[in-house]
Amino acid sequence: MWQELWEGCTSRILRRLRNSTWCIREEELFGNPDRSHTGIPVFNPTTMHGSAPVYRSAAALFMSYVRNQSVVVQRMYLGNYYHAARKCIEHSAVPELIYASCIVAAFSLIGGESISEAMEKTGMFAHGALLLIQQGSIQGDELLWIENLWQNLVMVLYYIHHETVGCRGGAMGRRSADSFVQLDGLLDNCTPFLPSDIDVATVPVSMPLAAVCVKVTTLSIYLQFYFDYFLFARSSWNEASQSDRTRLRGILV
């Protein structure tokens, strides 16, 4: 049911953004069957910054994995990306860096060394995107597009986490607990994507359906994760903290 909701909302969002400058017309599904049955839909995140060195280095890193090049080559491209990223920071070219970091996060999900690295790279993209949003640098359709990119990353991250380390008992219990805490921290830092109580109470009648779908999808992501975390805590430690209960109740109510 959750998967169907996500796919339905995403299709509506893409129909709205299809002719904008923030989305190319086609996307491809990439995955790593050794890590998860779930693939990640990879778009060209932007048509405005595609010539930037940091973006080209991120794309080269991703394609090195797709072309089955050696880990040594992949790490070389990753080093090139870090060098270009530092240049972006020095010149305050944040938008270029944000869109490039989306590609790197997608790489880390299917070709990175660990689930922890995937969380770290996804968190870097989210941190930069939220910084631009809070500064008012991103508005309108681009704001919807950024949140949709974040949703794609987090959804795949959730499935990989669930299939590889989540909800394990016995010797895997400690690793699962640490991984849940890290993923919880990532989502906690991304709560600005969630609609506030005021946003929910004052939804304008004229709000585009795509915008509503974006927020419904974001809410469903948090609901599924906190529900899983709640069940894991109950099964592993026979208890769930008051904060876990409060966060789950906050999504449900």
Instruction: Report residue 42: phi and psi, to 5°.
Output: -110, 120
Report whether pLDDT(14) > 60: no
Report whether pLDDT(248) > 90: no
Average pLDDT, the chain: 76
Q: Which residue would you say has higher pLDDT here, 2 or 118?
A: 118
pLDDT at residue number 160: 84
pLDDT at residue number 81: 93
Query: Strands (DSSP E) along the chain, which ranges?
Result: 28-30, 40-42
pLDDT at residue number 135: 82
When pLDDT is averaged across residues 25-33 and rounded to a whole number, the result is 58
- Residue 6 near residue 155 (C-beta atoms within 8 A): yes
When pLDDT is averaged across residues 166-186 and rounded to a whole number, the result is 70
What 8-state DSSP symbol labels residue 121? H
Report whether pLDDT(185) > 80: yes
Percent of the chain with pLDDT over 70: 69
Report whether pLDDT(30) > 80: no
Cα angle: 161, vertex 138, 189; to 5 degrees = 35
Residue 25's contacts (CB-CB under 8 Å, 6 or more residues apart) are 18
Q: What is the pLDDT of residues 81-100, one digit of tens each?
A: 999 999 988 888 888 888 88
Percent of the chain with pLDDT over 90: 12
pLDDT at residue number 247: 61
Instruction: Report residue 67: phi and psi, to 5°.
Output: -90, 10
Percent of the chain that is helix, strand, coil (3-state, to 5) = 70, 0, 25
Is the Cα dihedral 66, 67, 69, 75 positive or negative? negative
What 8-state DSSP symbol labels residue 137? -
Report whether pLDDT(189) > 80: yes
Q: What is the pLDDT of residues 97-119, one digit of tens each?
A: 888 898 899 899 888 888 888 89
Residue 228's contacts (CB-CB under 8 Å, 6 or more residues apart) are 162, 166, 167
Mean pLDDT lowest among 77-91, 136-150, 224-238? 224-238
Mean pLDDT lowest among 62-66, 141-145, 236-240? 236-240
- Residue 7 near residue 129 (C-beta atoms within 8 A): no
Q: Which residues of 105-115 are buried (b: 16+ CB within 10 A; e: fewer)?
A: bbbbbbbbeeb
Mean pLDDT lowest among 117-131, 145-159, 172-186? 172-186
When pLDDT is averaged across residues 57-81 and rounded to a whole number, the result is 89
Rounded CA separation 178/233 (Å)? 12
Q: How confident is the model at residue 122 (pLDDT cuts 50, 70, 90)?
A: very high
Closest by alpha carbon to 156, among 237, 32, 38? 38
Q: Which residue would you say has higher pLDDT here, 152 or 42?
A: 152
Q: How confident is the model at residue 182 (pLDDT cuts 50, 70, 90)?
A: confident
Q: What stretches of 91-172 show up as alpha helix (H) in DSSP? A: 94-111, 115-134, 140-164
Inter-CA distances, 158 with 49, 73, 95, 119, Å = 29, 28, 26, 10
Report whether pLDDT(184) > 50: yes
Q: Which residues of 153-169 are buried (b: 16+ CB within 10 A; e: fewer)?
A: bbbbbbbbbbebbbbbe
